[in-house]
């Protein structure tokens, strides 16, 4: 068997349109993932630490190669000793130049691994875009391609929730499907091609109208301004109304598809909560890693919220169990998730099942609350 990333059909005429762009894209992807891995970032942390997970997820979402070491393993212990770091230093970030960052913030991580975090100026003639999901990236591409001085601000990673998807098969223009990461990277490169500036790990805390300028305030007290601001702040995951969930987030409980923990799911029981496309895509993805996947769907069937092609994929997997009319009411575990309670709406019965990971996809709500000092609708979380 072979793994085919891309194939072309002759004729390639004109090559400027049908051959060269494809080769350029493949070479750019190779350069981004090839030699860099030899000088990758190293992260030492605990498997069930919320802070360790946050840093790993941030690096993965921004396509930054890194190697993970458990603080309990011999190599992790050696790295901590070499950096003269104690238990309070975990998670520890080690860069190729020998710098060690103890329990760093995501802004510190972003700056150290080479992500663009500092604006090039304090005034942008044309437009500031807040939010780096598909809508924000699209706005950046269109604005910059028209010659507008454009900056896009993203607090986590470009791509938003779509960027976390393991596989998207119903996106226009990709008949063979595309991962969220690949789609995001193409959009980011396209925005960069037209000259849009992208700021990562910058959180907006407020907006202000100051004469003809629209001012954006950052969490560190700095600010930038432009004549126009576009809010593309997307949505936030709805929280699961189950006891014990909040204390276990990042320690076995995850909102969205955390591909960084896929390797830890090998041989385990994984529960996916939700009945729409995002839940179906995650279920199919984790079924390739876990011994068993349970898809807990609140509704009476998959057909109400999931695309037909995805329903067929879910039903074809032998290690994937679909439980309809089912909700999660409780999550338990001392240091990490160990078990959860599934409630059957039809029978009224509760069942406690052992599971190491649960991924939650129960919908999202628009980020439309008011920012502090803001005269335009937005939200601190969305910024």
Residue 65 in domain: yes
pLDDT in tens, 194-214: 999 999 999 999 999 999 999
Residue 336 in domain: yes
Cβ atoms within 10 Å, residue 176: 8
Cβ atoms within 10 Å, residue 132: 29
pLDDT in tens, 88-121: 889 999 998 889 999 999 999 999 998 999 999 8
Residue pair 210/165 in contact (Cβ under 8 Å)? The answer is: no
Same domain, yes or no: 195 and 281: no
Same domain, yes or no: 101 and 61: yes
Residue pair 41/95 in contact (Cβ under 8 Å)? The answer is: yes
**CA 135 to CA 202: how far, in whole Å?**
18
Residue pair 314/320 in contact (Cβ under 8 Å)? The answer is: yes
Residue 326 in domain: yes
Residue 38: predicted pLDDT: 47
Residue 63's region, left for phi above 0, alpha for psi from -120 to 50, else beta, is: left
pLDDT in tens, 321-362: 999 999 999 999 999 999 999 999 999 999 999 999 999 999
Residue 380 in domain: no
Boundary (domain end) residue, out of 205, 234, 263: 234
Same domain, yes or no: 316 and 217: no
Residue 117 in domain: no
Same domain, yes or no: 325 and 256: yes
Same domain, yes or no: 66 and 166: no
Same domain, yes or no: 255 and 342: yes
**CA 188 to CA 140: how far, in whole Å?**
9
Domain that holds residue 253: 245-364
CATH number for the domain that contains residue 316: 3.50.50.60
Same domain, yes or no: 249 and 353: yes
Residue 82 in domain: yes
**Least confident residue range of 76-80, 242-246, 375-379:** 375-379
Residue pair 368/377 in contact (Cβ under 8 Å)? The answer is: yes
- Cα distances from 60 to residues 56, 105, 118, 157, 257, in angstroms, run 6, 16, 21, 9, 12
Beta bridge mates, 170: none
Residue 177: predicted pLDDT: 81
Q: Read off the pTM.
A: 0.80
Residue 278 in domain: yes
Tally of domains within the chain: 3
Residue 5: predicted pLDDT: 63
Residue 165 in domain: yes
Residue 32: predicted pLDDT: 63
Boundary (domain end) residue, out of 91, 112, 133: 112
């Amino acid at each position: 068997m072979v793994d085919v990333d891309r194939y072309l059909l002759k004729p390639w005429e004109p090559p400027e349109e049908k051959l060269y762009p494809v080769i350029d894209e493949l070479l750019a992807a190779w350069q981004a993932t090839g030699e860099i891995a030899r000088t990758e970032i190293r992260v030492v942390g605990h498997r069930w630490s919320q802070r360790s997970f946050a840093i790993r997820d941030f690096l993965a979402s921004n396509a930054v190669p890194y190697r993970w070491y458990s603080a309990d393993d011999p190599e992790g212990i050696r790295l901590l000793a070499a950096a003269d770091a104690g238990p309070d230093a975990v998670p520890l970030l080690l860069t190729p130049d020998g710098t060690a960052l103890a329990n760093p913030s995501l802004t510190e991580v972003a700056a150290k691994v080479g992500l663009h975090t500092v604006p090039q100026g304090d005034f942008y003639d044309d437009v500031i875009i807040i939010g780096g999901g598909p809508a924000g990236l699209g706005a950046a591409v269109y604005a910059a391609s028209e010659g507008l001085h454009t900056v896009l601000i993203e607090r986590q990673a470009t791509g938003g929730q779509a960027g976390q998807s393991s596989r998207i098969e119903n996106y226009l223009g990709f008949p063979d499907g595309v991962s969220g990461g690949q789609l995001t990277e193409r959009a980011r490169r396209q925005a960069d091609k037209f000259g849009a500036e992208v700021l990562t790990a910058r959180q907006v805390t407020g907006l202000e109208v100051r004469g003809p300028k629209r001012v954006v305030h950052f969490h560190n007290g700095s600010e930038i301004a432009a004549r126009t601001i576009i809010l593309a702040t997307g949505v936030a995951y709805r929280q699961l109304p189950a006891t014990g969930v909040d204390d276990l987030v990042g320690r076995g409980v995850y909102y969205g598809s955390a591909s960084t923990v896929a390797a830890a799911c090998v041989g385990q029981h994984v529960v996916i909560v939700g009945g729409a496309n995002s839940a179906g895509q995650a279920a199919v993805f984790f079924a390739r890693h876990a011994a068993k996947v349970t898809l807990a769907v609140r509704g009476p069937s998959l057909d109400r919220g999931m695309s037909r092609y995805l329903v067929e994929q879910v039903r074809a997997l032998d290690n994937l169990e679909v439980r309809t009319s089912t909700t999660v009411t409780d999550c338990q575990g001392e240091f990490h998730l160990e078990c959860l309670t599934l409630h059957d709406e039809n029978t009224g019965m509760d069942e406690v099942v052992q599971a190491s990971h649960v991924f939650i996809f129960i919908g999202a709500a628009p980020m439309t609350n008011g920012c502090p000092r803001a005269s335009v609708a937005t939200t601190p979380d969305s910024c």
